Structure 1
């Protein structure tokens, strides 16, 4: 994508967007983060989680979810620094130590206060923390401690006054009350010889500029440069302003600009020419003007800890907002760069400012209303080096900061060149003719032949004027100035359009593109009908509802549909035209409803009319920042209800890995929460999830950051979640395994008991059957023996009877 944009705009990287607009600012009040007002320190860990030292404890923010971790003594957290070991070191009032995750990923506080010996027990406030390879360092007003290998060491004699601790050329540096400077090296402090002292006052920040030079900001005396030999004032044209408003904290952005947090006037950003590039305070976005802490994340933007709240200034955003009418913040309708001025037309009038590459804070707000322009402005047109304004009150020519009315015609929409020296203007009740004279443009006449409101006008290569009426149809107009008449042809659905309603038209090159409720069309004179335009139809499809088309100065084409706003790049090749569609989701639904307008000035400055002022857009910056890595974190896993419902608190355990969760059968409704920490508020971030072990696959993409799985059956599961941004860039998948045990009656032991019972029952049945068989066998044996006995007795009786018979026979 970046290569494509570089081809379109070869000057990318050699200039920047002008600083006319205000960058986006996100406000987080104490009702949102549910803690105290003041925020004293800000830091970010290696996963992207933000940490804030707050009046009521340590605040954690993952881009969506806030969580408060109070200190045991419930005091202010003045300083915070996360370590590479997963610990978060904090300093409070008479308390310091670190938070570390337990086995469930919940942070637990471990105090180091009891390791302080003797007179140092009265700690006061811990103002600075530095996490370094040689240990963790804590600074109070009167002492600095080194924590290393489980031991705590005091670095100064008791009662020493200390003003600042920070990093100096890769070393730990401390400034004491006599303005002497010390560095920590080889396990001890060494007082610097060059420079031995810094006499510019109390240091508020140290900013490395080159390997050999450092900028030092001070509370009351501005900024100093150390060039390796000595300190000298680093003069700017705004020194008095900076000294007056007190630089309380400072940092450097990736682009080299300096971010200065002041106590009295908000955030000051100095560019590389030492000029105030932006001044952001309560008037243009901050919750208040007192900045207590400042942090610049690696992904861009500036976090501000305020006297009352937390703000995120997206200073590296390619989008900013311009309100030319100040606090009125009226709707934008049109804009034009003309000569050395830029003009903005709104519903409240026409406003102008000098067109410059750089604006001082005063000049940025120096918009003036053009005289006689009060009310609704519809259009601005450069006609032969004359600026004409379409206004509800009629036609005007704008000269510097004054508008001269050209005729008593109600409601001029737009001007179109007809022939050299002649122009046609669509108004509420038809079309008027204007002619250019030596003194400027003059009204000639209202042309007869058309009484329709003529807002949408374009001229084709055959010098026909086309007019589309959203509720009437499309008109082809031939102007005949000699007779002040118009020859008009009418077209509707009988000529290839979808309907007589919902039609628009746009000038693209020397031709005219027509759009209906669905589809994109061109007019074919030979057939006297409209047919689908092949190139645009191939890009958008046959059923699109196109709301806006504008050909820019570089041949790019800006577009807006019902669903998206973006850019078309049309390139000619030997095989024909190649059209690439580049959506810009941030501009979707931002254009003024019913009256979309875009002014592409150059590759760094595009102005978009919106319902609230104008959006200033830097395309080169936008497309150069799309390859950023997207980080995703699991914030929390909890049971849907019940006490002690948090199963995973969002942080790796002591071993640095997720610990699998084993749950009973009744704890089978779980809620997973997740976020992308580098995108505060989560705008344009979508998520998809998959519960391995269930029948469902990956879900549809959604902006939801919480997912509930209810009444899960027993089994082994792994929850997977992925995120993507508006450019389709995806994060790494985060996974979390867990297991739900079966109910007691379905457990392994229960089944073993069931098996034993079944075996016992089976053996009992067999034993019973064996006993029955034995009884039956004994009964049969007894019966057989009885029967045998009876048989023997019968045989014996028969034998005896036979013998007796034989004896009787012999005795006869």
Structure 2
């Protein structure tokens, strides 16, 4: 086990590795897990022990492994070897051909396994060649310490360019020709250089510009023409294929840039930390240096003829190389400088509290006066073609100042605010494009309409920029195109309206998406320098190269890992050692147990420019109803997935809106053990047995139900009988009650008859008393009284029918008692029967005596006789017997 020193990739993206006496390649299985496959077993025995493999190069269908003594050639599962006569110290492929150098020998070309020395390269025998480039018909040779040579048709000569001067003494370590022909040089002491094919230095990057260190061990150019640098300790990524490059603290430029200018061979930048300058070398600049006396907030740099003016928090200054000279510090703050369009000897400075006028005295600008009448801030100032001075105010609206012909007095001030057509008084920005005064508002671009003396929407610009967003900046470019910035911070929309053949515009938005969130709201600085555009940013300067032929970005989306979150984040797919290789095959479907139905899927795009802003959207077929929205999340989790087959698809989109090749991951979640086909068979058998049992149970229950039904019917019949009996009883009760009512009625009649009888007897008794009373009288009066008694007795006789009525009612009430009594005891006299009837009525002897017209003792004597006739013993109670009879 040794350290890997070299890597190579074939046309099929297989990765080969080289180490000490070891070569092989990486194999990734269907689950994304990488293993190493050694090729030593197929190397002929005599070529083993080949030493350290320090370079691997692919050519056509072959892989070449370079060591100090041998070149191993792998093709179609076979390994051949070429043995070197001398130590091999350099190998590189140029235009499909291998160029080699053996120690102490000139440069050679490998042809059919043989070394062919290049004539004229003998002076290189003692040099250490580090790189080769093809420029036209020439072969450019890069050496470690002796500079760069050109070889053509057997002639070797120094390459007369600035390259030798740039890399002198930097200890060149390697060189590589890039896809667009540029020459990349990696050094040990001074980082990376990039030169044009003609030898012009285009880029120099060191640790100060962001490299982790200055030692370049290897260079790899990706499909998007960006560079990956293997350093002495670490890896760095260089966006060489980008349209932008940055100048910031790595270039000794500190702070946010509010303005920039190219002046006298230097690039100046005004920041919130001070003003800085850097000498220009072509289109590149060296590290920045601080301009003394500017350690405040700096707002503006403006070149007026041969003078560079600086406006900062202290006031106005002139820039003199690395220092500044105060020009006007009477009032704090100098925002801007603008020349009078009709009198070039007048210059106007907008400050925090008004406007100053300067006059050119032939040698320098001198303060003339401060304009009276306007005391508001004047951060944005523009002269129109008529000589009106327009001033933008972020909170009030837009002011228009009418000046006198001399330009040193204000004749009139007009304010154009919401009452004069603007949609709001806030955040209105002032521009001049193609000679027209334009206002950037929160509802698109407005323009001044002289006939209305008001601001109106600009139909021309709102067609292209809309009417719903804040327009922050409009700048007319040197070629007549219009650069615009609109939208709020972090949602910036930046582009260039380039006029097309139809008179309309082509709206170029790519690649300005990269600047989103980097510009300073309300203080956007744009400077044009040749084919470059310099943007002031929150962290330095951003330079856009307009003539950059940006290639179409090609990238893919990879699914790197799949975890089961239900089992302590166990890895289901992917390599635990972070071996990044997309190995998913279209027909691969991973099978997962049901207890692995909670997944976390991680993914990434092979696009590294603003990689934090790469967005992804996903769709899980079999689960999602629609694709998710674009987000920057690089993983997605699912829980409680049901059994079934799923396909997870993920797409990526870079900051420019380009969509990369999608990736898919298919998997099947098995059902839980209790939902497998075996268990369903068990369930079926169980259900069968259960069905049979249920049928038997059902039959048993039916029988029980039948018995229950019969029992219930019996109960119902019993209940019916009971109810019938109750009904009969109730009817009997009713009849009894009716009979009782009749008895009560007849009893009342009987009682009435008895009363009448008692009254009758009383009458008889009275009659007897009267007879007895008159029995001693012998006169007419007595006779008259006797006649009265006779009449009374007649009345008594007339009432004998009452007893018959009484006997009738009594028999009805007492179940024919009298009739039954007479039948049972025929010896009883009518008087006896009458007494028995009264006893049946439970009357006492005292109550009976008057009813029968006898005395109490007579009643008792009669009772005695009746007892004998009834043959009762002395112990028997007559009344009780009568009641029971």
Question: Given the two structures, how large is their TM-score scaled by the length of structure 1?
Answer: 0.77
Once the two structures are superposed, the pairs formed by residues 314-393 of structure 1 within 5 Å of their partners are 314-322=239-247, 327-338=252-263, 342-352=267-277, 357=282, 364-365=285-286, 375-383=296-304, 386-393=307-314
Is residue 104–residue 659 contact of structure 1 (8 Å, CA) maintained in 2? Answer: no
Q: Per the alignment, do residues 735 and 326 of structure 1 end up closer, same or farther by CA in structure 2, a change over 3 Å counting?
A: closer
- The answer on 1:701 being equivalent to 2:623 is no
- Of residues 346, 351, 365, the one that matches 1:441 is 365
- Of residues 743, 756, 760, the one that matches 2:672 is 743
- Of residues 439, 455, 476, the one that matches 1:514 is 439
Q: Per the alignment, do residues 643 and 704 of structure 1 end up closer, same or farther by CA in structure 2, a change over 3 Å counting?
A: closer
Structure 1 runs not aligned, ≥5 long: 1-72, 777-812
Counterpart Cα distance in 1 of 2:168 and 2:355: 60
- Of residues 590, 597, 614, the one that matches 2:525 is 597
Is residue 687–residue 722 contact of structure 1 (8 Å, CA) maintained in 2? Answer: yes
- Of residues 128, 132, 136, the one that matches 2:63 is 136
- Of residues 475, 491, 509, the one that matches 2:399 is 475
- The answer on 1:620 being equivalent to 2:547 is yes
- The answer on 1:81 being equivalent to 2:8 is yes
Question: Given the two structures, how large is their TM-score scaled by the length of structure 2?
Answer: 0.71
- Between structure 1 and structure 2, the one with the greater Rg is 2
Query: Which residue is 1:416 aligned to?
Result: 338
Counterpart Cα distance in 2 of 1:257 and 1:325: 24
Query: Which residue is 1:567 aligned to?
Result: 495
Counterpart Cα distance in 2 of 1:166 and 1:101: 29
- What is the CA deviation profile of residues 202-240 of structure 1, one whole-angstrom value per residue up to 9, with x for unaligned ones? 333333345x64333333333333425354443444436
Query: Which residue is 2:537 aligned to?
Result: 610
Counterpart Cα distance in 2 of 1:312 and 1:752: 60
Counterpart Cα distance in 1 of 2:149 and 2:280: 33
Higher relative contact order (CA closer than 8 Å, sequence separation 6+): 1
Query: Which residue is 1:214 aligned to?
Result: 139
Q: Per the alignment, do residues 434 and 642 of structure 1 end up closer, same or farther by CA in structure 2, a change over 3 Å counting?
A: same
Secondary structure, in 3 states, of the residue corresponding to 1:751?
A: helix
Could you tell me how far 1:648 is from its partner in structure 2? 4.1
Query: Which residue is 2:30 aligned to?
Result: 103
Query: Which residue is 1:556 aligned to?
Result: 481
- What is the CA deviation profile of residues 168-203 of structure 1, one whole-angstrom value per residue up to 9, with x for unaligned ones? 5534454333426666555xx313154496515233
Counterpart Cα distance in 2 of 1:381 and 1:696: 58
Query: Which residue is 2:715 aligned to?
Result: none
- The answer on 1:465 being equivalent to 2:381 is no
More helix by share: 2
Could you tell me how far 1:115 is from its partner in structure 2? 5.2
Is residue 539–residue 581 contact of structure 1 (8 Å, CA) maintained in 2? Answer: no
Once the two structures are superposed, the pairs formed by residues 388-787 of structure 1 within 5 Å of their partners are 388-398=309-319, 403-410=324-331, 411-418=333-340, 419-420=342-343, 421-480=345-404, 481=406, 484-485=409-410, 487-561=412-486, 562=488, 563-569=491-497, 571=499, 578=505, 580=507, 582=509, 584-602=512-530, 604-621=531-548, 624-625=549-550, 627-640=552-565, 641-642=567-568, 645-649=571-575, 651=581, 657=586, 659-679=588-608, 682-763=611-692, 765=694
- What is the CA deviation profile of residues 569-603 of structure 1, one whole-angstrom value per residue up to 9, with x for unaligned ones? 264988x765736361111222234421101234x
- Of residues 19, 27, 49, the one that matches 1:92 is 19
Q: Per the alignment, do residues 200 and 752 of structure 1 end up closer, same or farther by CA in structure 2, a change over 3 Å counting?
A: same
Q: Per the alignment, do residues 643 and 93 of structure 1 end up closer, same or farther by CA in structure 2, a change over 3 Å counting?
A: farther
- The answer on 1:307 being equivalent to 2:232 is yes
Structure 2 runs not aligned, ≥5 long: 706-885
Counterpart Cα distance in 2 of 1:648 and 1:320: 36
Counterpart Cα distance in 2 of 1:458 and 1:391: 19
Secondary structure, in 3 states, of the residue corresponding to 2:252?
A: helix
Query: Which residue is 2:878 aligned to?
Result: none
Secondary structure, in 3 states, of the residue corresponding to 1:633?
A: strand
Aligned length: 691
Counterpart Cα distance in 2 of 1:775 and 1:547: 91
RMSD of Structure 2 on Structure 1 (CA): 3.6
Q: Per the alignment, do residues 774 and 496 of structure 1 end up closer, same or farther by CA in structure 2, a change over 3 Å counting?
A: closer
Once the two structures are superposed, the pairs formed by residues 186-201 of structure 1 within 5 Å of their partners are 186=112, 189-195=113-119, 199-201=125-127
Counterpart Cα distance in 1 of 2:180 and 2:665: 38
Is residue 672–residue 707 contact of structure 1 (8 Å, CA) maintained in 2? Answer: yes
- What is the CA deviation profile of residues 368-412 of structure 1, one whole-angstrom value per residue up to 9, with x for unaligned ones? 666765644322334456543323333334566665443343222
Is residue 258–residue 298 contact of structure 2 (8 Å, CA) maintained in 1? Answer: yes
More strand by share: 1
Q: Per the alignment, do residues 429 and 278 of structure 1 end up closer, same or farther by CA in structure 2, a change over 3 Å counting?
A: same
Is residue 397–residue 441 contact of structure 1 (8 Å, CA) maintained in 2? Answer: no
